[in-house]
Each structure stands twice: as C-alpha cells, then as structure tokens.
Amino acid sequence: MRFDILTLFPDMFPGYLSQSILNKSIERGLVEIHVHNMRDWAEGRHHKIDDTPYGGGPGMILMVEPVVNCVRDVQAMTSEPGTVIVTTPRGQRLDQPLVEELAVNKRMILLCGRYEGFDQRVIDILKPLEVSIGDYILNGGEVASMVLVDSLVRMVPGVLGDEQSSWDDSFSRGNRMLEYPQYTRPREFEGESVPEILLSGNHGKIELWRQAKSLEITKKRRSDLLED
C-alpha cells in the first residue's frame, strides 16, 4: 500500500513514521509513504500558496493552481495514479467500514488542508474522495492523514502480528461491536481479580463469556452499533 501525503508541513511526519508498527511495515516493504511539500509547486520567489477569500471573511484559502499541479505531478510519479483523498470536516465521516473499503486501494494520495481549507475548485476539478475524521475542527489535515494511514496499514496483510485482530477488534468486520474486557498478570491487584472463567482453560466457555461481555458493553455504550 502506497501513500503520498501532500502537506505544507512535511516535518510533522518523520517522528510518526519512524515508530512501531508503521516503521516495521515500511522496512518490510509492506507500506510505502512519500511526503511532498505542496509549496514546491507554488510559483514565484515566495512560493505563495494561499490567498484571501473572495467575498471576504477570515483566514486564507489554499490556491487551486499549485494544489492541482502538485496532485497531477505526484500522480504521474508511478503508473498507478491512485485514489485522491482530501481531508475535510465536510467529508464522509471515517469509521471502520470505510477504512475496510479504502483498504482495497493500492495507492492513496492524501491532501492535508491548512488555514480555511482548499479553494472549492480543487474539489470540483480533481473529484477526490472527501473524508472527515470526526465532527470537530483540527488546525490542519496532517493529523487526519496520520489517522487514515494508521487505520489503513492495519488492513495490509502481514502488518499486524496476528491477522485475527483486524476482524475481532472493536468496530471491525468480525462483529462490529465493542471488544470484551481483557486482563493479564497478576491475577489479583488491590482486591480486584481476573474473572475465574478466563483461568478455566475452557475455550468454548471463554468464547461465550467474551461474546456476552462484548454484547453487554455495546448495548450499554453504543446501542447504535447494534441497529443493523
């Protein structure tokens, strides 16, 4: 799976990319991430990429020409142009089913907005998929892109130590519910002990207990997940 991230703040990425699962997946060749500075596509001595909004109002808007040129050049870097995704509060809200749908893509180009966002013509011309990570406002699309990358790489076969996780975790394709409670050593701490059944070695019973707990917490906290 290849990601091309288009941003005005490329330095936000190296720390995130060099850690844990992501770093290992990159080293093992399962995931490729290329970060591009959109400002490199802006003309003139000052590489101006933003301007004030027509009609007035606060803030600056990312200009259509450098952004569209940047996307087209980056698309042409490989034979597979990839799916263009714009991070925006107006987009389709990201959830695990959408993550699973997006995971069929071999290549994704992620556009990170800043300031007041992109000139509308970026959307009208490129016709990207617009994705929001939730009903709140971030300062930029960089963290939203990291959320996309982080959730998507888990879908790449070989990335997770145990493939089963991508089925069983909360919200995932295995059951779309919240996960049951988990425990590890010690058996008792400050008077709180691990449920007896988990120590029984009876896998059938443990599985039933976990299903029941999963249903219980989902009913209590997220009954909307049970509607389908």
Q: Distance between CA 148 and CA 83 in Å, rounded?
A: 13
**Total residue length of the chain:** 228
- Residue 60 backbone zone (phi > 0: left; psi -120 to 50: alpha; other: beta): beta
Residue 117 touching ligand SAH (CB under 6 A): yes
Q: What is the 3-state secondary structure (H, E, C) of 159-174?
A: CCCCCCHHHHCCCCCC
Residue 10 touching ligand SAH (CB under 6 A): no
**Catalytic residue status for 154:** yes
Catalytic residue among 116, 130, 168, 216: 116
**Catalytic residue status for 162:** no
Residue 127 or 203 with smaller CB distance to ligand SAH? 127
Q: Nearest CA to 128 among 60, 81, 96, 76?
A: 81
**107 close to 4: Cβ distance less than 8 angstroms:** yes
Member of 67, 123, 144, 146 binding ligand SAH (CB under 6 A)? 144
Stretches 34-42, 47-55, 95-103, 133-141: which one binds ligand SAH (CB under 6 A)? 133-141
**Catalytic residue status for 81:** no
Question: Identity (one letter) of the amino acid at 75?
Answer: Q
Question: Identity (one letter) of the amino acid at 212?
Answer: A
Stretches 40-48, 76-84, 110-118, 216-224: which one binds ligand SAH (CB under 6 A)? 110-118
Residue 88 touching ligand SAH (CB under 6 A): yes
Residue 137 touching ligand SAH (CB under 6 A): yes
Member of 83, 132, 170, 175 binding ligand SAH (CB under 6 A)? 132
**74 close to 66: Cβ distance less than 8 angstroms:** no
Buried b (16+ CB within 10 A) or exposed e, 98-133: bbbebbebebbbbbbbbbebbbeebbeebebebbbb
Q: How far is the CB of 220 from ligand SAH (least distance, A)?
A: 27
Residue 141 touching ligand SAH (CB under 6 A): yes
Residue 7 touching ligand SAH (CB under 6 A): no
**Catalytic residue status for 32:** no
Member of 31, 38, 110, 133 binding ligand SAH (CB under 6 A)? 133
Active site residues: 89, 116, 154, 169
Question: What residues line the site for ligand SAH (CB under 6 A)?
Answer: 87-90, 112-114, 116-117, 132-134, 136-138, 140-141, 144
